[in-house]
Structure 1
Amino acid sequence: MSKLKINIVIAGRTYPLSVNNTKEEEGMRKAANAINKLISMYEQNYAVSDKQDVLAMSALQFASKLEILSLVKNDTKKEEIKKLNELTQLVSAHLE
């Protein structure tokens, strides 16, 4: 399978990338679009003079969302495991 070569524009700069398939390409383009929208929002709403600052703020925004989702997912898994253990104990007690 040959890789697709695409160009992604982030903060006015073009980045050539290779992707494995059209789904990966779509994901990359959507991610770049989201980054560019966030950069634009930061530039419009805050006195930011350097692209490096808005890129860092954007990276922090996306990374923090991922970390929060991971924490929530882990908490949900722990709660599910706790409930499954409780149900297992109830069934075991009933069967005795």
Structure 2
Amino acid sequence: MAKLKVNVVIAGRTYPLSVNNTEEEEGMRKAAKSINELVTKYEQNYAVSDKQDVLAMCALQFASKAAITSIITEVENTEALEKINELTKIVSSHLE
């Protein structure tokens, strides 16, 4: 399958990208839209004169959300595994 060529605009600059399918294209466009919305928010709420500073703040926010989600998922998985192990022990003890 041929790659699709996509142009996305982030903070006023156009970036040409290649994607594998329309779902990936949609994801890229949604991500660019989220970044642009956050750039606008930062520019309106903070006295930031450099786009690089705004983009760094956006990158930090998105990366921290991903890290937090990963940590929460890891904790939830650990708790679920502990409960499964407890239930396995209870079932095993009743089967003996």
- TM-score bracket relative to the smaller structure: over 0.9
* Alpha-carbon distance in structure 1 between the residues aligned to 2:72 and 2:89: 26
Following TM superposition, by how much is the alpha carbon of 1:38 offset from its aligned partner in structure 2, in angstroms?
Answer: 0.3
Following TM superposition, by how much is the alpha carbon of 1:3 offset from its aligned partner in structure 2, in angstroms?
Answer: 0.5
- TM-score normalised according to structure 1 size: 0.99
Following TM superposition, by how much is the alpha carbon of 1:35 offset from its aligned partner in structure 2, in angstroms?
Answer: 0.1
- 3-state SS of 2:14 partner: strand
State the one-letter code of the partner of 1:76.
Answer: E
Name the Cα RMSD after superposition.
0.4
1:95 alignment counterpart: 95
1:20 alignment counterpart: 20
Residue correspondences, number: 96
2:64 alignment counterpart: 64
State the one-letter code of the partner of 1:84.
Answer: I
Aligned-pair identity (%): 70
* Alpha-carbon distance in structure 2 between the residues aligned to 1:36 and 1:84: 43
Residues 46-61 of structure 1 correspond to what in structure 2 (within 5 A)? 46-61=46-61
* Alpha-carbon distance in structure 1 between the residues aligned to 2:95 and 2:17: 59
* Alpha-carbon distance in structure 2 between the residues aligned to 1:56 and 1:30: 19
- 3-state SS of 1:38 partner: helix
Following TM superposition, by how much is the alpha carbon of 1:43 offset from its aligned partner in structure 2, in angstroms?
Answer: 0.3
Q: Runs ≥4 in structure 1, deviation > 3 angstroms?
A: none
2:74 alignment counterpart: 74
- TM-score normalised according to structure 2 size: 0.99
Q: Which runs of 5+ in 1 are unaligned?
A: none
- 3-state SS of 1:49 partner: coil
